[in-house]
Structure 1
Amino acid sequence: MDLYEKRVVLITGCSGGGIGHALARAFAAKNCLVVATARSLASMSDFQDDPRFFLQELDVSSGESVRHALSTTLEKLGRIDIVVNNAGVQCIGPLAEVPLPAIEHTFNTNLYGALRLIQAVVPHMASRKKGKIVNIGSVTVLAPVPWAGAYTASKAALHALTDTLSELWKPFTDGIVERGEIVLV
Structure 2
Amino acid sequence: MGSSSDETPVVLITGCSQGGIGHALAREFSANGCRVVATSRSQKTMTELEKDSKFFVQELDVQSKQSVSKVVSKVIDKFGQIDVLVNNAGVQCIGPLAEIPISAMDYTFNTNVLGSMRMTQAVVPHMASKKKGKIVNIGSISIMAPGPWAGVYTASKAALHALTDTLRLELKPFGI
Same fold (TM over 0.5): yes
Structure having the higher helix fraction is 2
Q: Shorter-chain TM-score: what band?
A: over 0.9
Determine if the alignment matches structure 1 residue 76 to structure 2 residue 78: yes
1-side partners of 2:44 and 2:129: how far apart?
34
Identity across matched positions, percent: 63
How far apart in 1 are the matches of 2:10 and 2:51?
18
Q: Which residue of 2 aligns with 1:180?
A: none
- What is the aligned-residue RMSD (CA, Å)? 0.9
1:125 corresponds to: 127
TM-score, reference length from structure 1: 0.91
Alignment map for 1:7-86 (pairs within 5 Å): 7-86=9-88
Q: Secondary structure at the match of 1:111?
A: helix
Aligned residue-pair number: 173
| Alpha-carbon distance in structure 1 between the residues aligned to 2:111 and 2:14 | 11
Following superposition, the deviation at residue 107 of structure 1 comes to 0.1
Shift of 1:30: 0.3
C-alpha distance in structure 2 between counterparts of 1:55 and 1:159, whole Å: 27
Query: SS of the counterpart of 2:26?
Result: helix
Task: After superposition, give the CA deviation of every residue in 1:140-165 in whole Å (9 maximum; x if it has no partner).
Answer: 00111111000000000000000011
* Amino acid in structure 2 at the alignment position of 1:27: F
Judge conservation of contact 1:12–1:38 (CA < 8 Å) in 2: yes
SS of the residue 1:16 aligns to: coil
Instruction: Render the CA deviation track for 1:111-136: whole Å, top value 9, x for unaligned.
Output: 00000000111000000000000000
Post-superposition Cα deviations, 1:5-47, rounded to whole Å, max 9, x if no partner, equal: 3110000000000000000001011010100000111111011
**1:169: how far off?**
2.0
Separation (CA, whole Å) in 2 of partners of 1:103 and 1:49: 35
2-side partners of 1:113 and 1:74: how far apart?
19
- Of the candidates 150, 156, 167, which is equivalent to residue 158 of structure 2? 156
Q: Distance in 2 between matches of 1:87 and 1:17?
A: 13
1:32–1:52 CA contact under 8 A, matched in 2 = no
What 5-or-longer segments of structure 1 have no aligned partner?
177-185
Mapped partners of 2:38, 2:126: distance in 1:
19
Match of 1:136 in 2: 138
Aligned to 1:173: 174
Which AA in structure 2 matches 1:5? E
Q: Distance in 2 between matches of 1:6 and 1:130?
A: 14
CA contact (8 A) 2:6 2:81 kept: no
Alpha-carbon offset, residue 51 of structure 1: 2.5
TM-score (norm 2): 0.96
